[in-house]
Amino acid sequence: MKAEFFKYQGTGNDFVIFNNMNGQIPALTVKQVNRLCDRKFGIGADGLMLLSKKEGYDFEMIYYNADGNESSMCGNGGRCLVKFAYHQGIHREEYKFIAIDGEHDAEIDTNGIVSLKMKDVDHVEQGADHAVLNTGSPHYIKFSSNVKDTDVVGIGRAIRYSNTYGAEGINVNFVETIDNDTIYVRTYERGVEDETLSCGTGVTAAALVSAHNDNGFNQVEVETPGGHLSVEFDKLDDNHFENIWLCGPAEFVFKGEVEL
């Protein structure tokens, strides 16, 4: 069957999206998703999403990594899916949807910026030069003084496939402090198995462990190779963060038709 697809991107993190609110898209195989996301033989994307119907919510987010496997939460994907839902006629002052890691709220401001509420964080594992935490997906945060010259793919792959994290692996983020309120982040993403221009859950994780206030409200500005994001949150202590919002652009790129 032929199906209409849409391409969206959030700070260079790009996604193939299908509207499945009527349930017309057949179950996708790992091979199909991988082919659709392939940048040489398919449409090309970091991931694929279905906008699906779910009782009690505005929609359900079904997300697949570029390797074809259904994945954990994707922050930029969630923001793109909210903008896609709006463009498909689902207009709300505040959205409520369900994803693999639970419920999410989202808003679109008058400038088109999408703010997505992320899951609370209740544990951070601190190492000598890194931190590990889960913001809907597991992230390894490695602090560096020269991220632009870092071998993100080589070092990131070694950590992702290390015995410590086993077959499940982990996303690896390299973080540099620019000033008191701004950080620079590059990410190696599992499932893509390469550096992506931006990673929403990774940016969120990096911002939380870079918080400059001992407690209370924080806002961290984040520069990535793909653009600018900001993360707002309440820090209760070094292990507990609530009311976390990932904010940034989400843009339509193009649409087309593909044989499934």
So which residues are the catalytic ones?
74, 199
**Amino acid of residue 20:** N
What is the distance between the alpha carbons of residues 122 and 126, in angstroms, rounded to a whole number?
13
**Secondary structure of residue 236 in the 3-state scheme:** strand
Inter-CA distances, 66 with 42, 43, 93, 129, Å: 11, 11, 31, 30
Bridge-partner residues for 172, per DSSP?
140, 188
Angle 140-144-148 from CA coordinates, rounded to 5°: 105
**Secondary structure of residue 208 in the 3-state scheme:** helix
199 in Cβ contact with 208 (< 8 Å): no
What is the distance between the alpha carbons of residues 43 and 80, in angstroms, rounded to a whole number?
17
What is the distance between the alpha carbons of residues 31 and 35, in angstroms, rounded to a whole number?
6
Give all strands (DSSP E) within the chain, no chain letters.
2-10, 13-20, 47-52, 59-65, 95-99, 102-108, 114-117, 125-126, 130-134, 138-143, 171-179, 182-189, 194-196, 216-224, 227-237, 240-248, 251-259
